[in-house]
Amino acid sequence: AINNMEVKLESDRQTKFNAKYVNPAKNRDININIDRIPGKSAHVVITNGARKHDLTFKVGDLNLKNIDGVFNIEVEGTSLGEQVKGSIKGSKNGDVNQVQMELEKGTKIYSN
């Protein structure tokens, strides 16, 4: 049952998006703040009390008006106090599209 909840959303629909969700009964105090430079980068900060994710995404070769499968997205920042760094890359060879992902979080490496 929801007995006490607060939700707030704000956006200029171009460069800023802010969201807040508070529900003390569920121990939730979540804030999402996104600042973006269209076509270049997005800085995303997500907090829930003391838990924090602070990530910057940088975009290269990604054209949403003409999706060709070739793109590069890099991410860098921290997640729950651990350093995060990685990338997602899309490439095309003839009719075959490939997506390659690599992410380092602390001492762990994730890739496909």
Q: Around 29, how many Cα atoms within 13 Å sit in the side-chain half-sphere?
A: 6
Residue 106 Ramachandran class (φ > 0 left, ψ -120 to 50 alpha, else beta) = left
Q: What is the per-residue pLDDT for 72?
A: 94
CA distances from 69 to 14, 48, 87, 88 (A): 24, 35, 15, 12
Question: Three-class SS of residue 24?
Answer: helix
Q: What is the mean pLDDT of the chain?
A: 92
Between 89 and 67, whose confidence is greater?
A: 89
Answer whether residue 1 shows pLDDT above 60: no
pLDDT digits (tens, 9 = 90+) for 16-70: 999 999 998 888 999 999 999 988 999 999 999 999 999 999 998 877 778 888 8
Given pLDDT bands bounded at 50, 70 and 90, which one contains residue 2?
A: low
Is pTM, for the whole model, over 0.75? Answer: yes
- Which one-letter DSSP state was computed for residue 5? -
